[in-house]
Amino acid sequence: MGTRSCWRFGFFLLCVAGLLGQPTAARGQITDLSITSAPCPHLDGFVVNQLRIDFEGQLFGQELQVALDSGAIYQDAINDNRVPLLASVNLFPSMACDSFVGIGEPVPSPFDPPWSPWPGDSTFDEVLIIRDDFVDGAWDIAWAPSTGVVIDSGEDYFIAQVTLSEDAEGSWDYSGNAGGQPFQIAGASISGGVMRLVPEPTTMSLLVLSALSVAAGRCPRA
pLDDT (tens digit per residue) in 132-172:
455 556 778 888 887 787 888 888 888 888 999 999 999 99
pLDDT > 70: what percent of the chain? 58
**Number of Cβ atoms within 10 Å of the Cβ of 217:** 7
Quote the pLDDT of residue 97: 84
* Amino acid occupying residue 166: E
DSSP conformation class of 152: -
- Domain 25-201, CATH among 2.70.50, 2.40.50, 2.60.40, 3.40.91: 2.60.40
- Host H or E run for residue 191: strand 181-191
Mean pLDDT (the chain) is 73
61 phi and psi, to 5 degrees?
-75, 160
Please enumerate in sequence order all residues whose Cβ is within 8 A of that of 5, keeping only pairs 6 or more positions apart, or say none.
none
Please tell me the predicted confidence (pLDDT) of residue 54: 93
The sign one gets for the Cα dihedral 75, 76, 78, 82 is negative
pLDDT at 46 over 60: yes
pLDDT band at 43 (very low <50, low <70, confident <90, very high): confident
Report the C-alpha gap between 221 and 91 in whole angstroms: 68
Mean pLDDT of the region 5-32: 53
pLDDT at 30: 94
Question: Has residue 98 got a pLDDT over 80?
Answer: yes
pLDDT digit string, tens, across residues 64-81: 999 999 999 888 777 665
What pLDDT sits at residue 114? 42
Whether the link from the prior residue into 114 is cis, omega within 30° of 0, is: yes
DSSP 43-98: STTEEEEEEEEEEES-EEEEEEEEEEEES-B---TTT-SS---HHHHHH-GGGGG-
* Residue 49 reports pLDDT greater than 90: yes
SS3 (DSSP) at 179: coil
pLDDT at 203 over 50: no
> Are the CB atoms for 149 and 123 separated by under 8 Å?
yes
Tell me which range, 134-143, 190-199, 201-210, is most confidently predicted by mean pLDDT.
190-199
- Is residue 57 a contact partner of residue 152, using CB atoms and an 8 Å limit? yes
Contact between 15 and 213 under an 8 Å Cβ cutoff? The reply is no
- Most confident by average pLDDT, 105-109, 179-183, 192-196: 192-196
Domains of the chain by residue range: 25-201
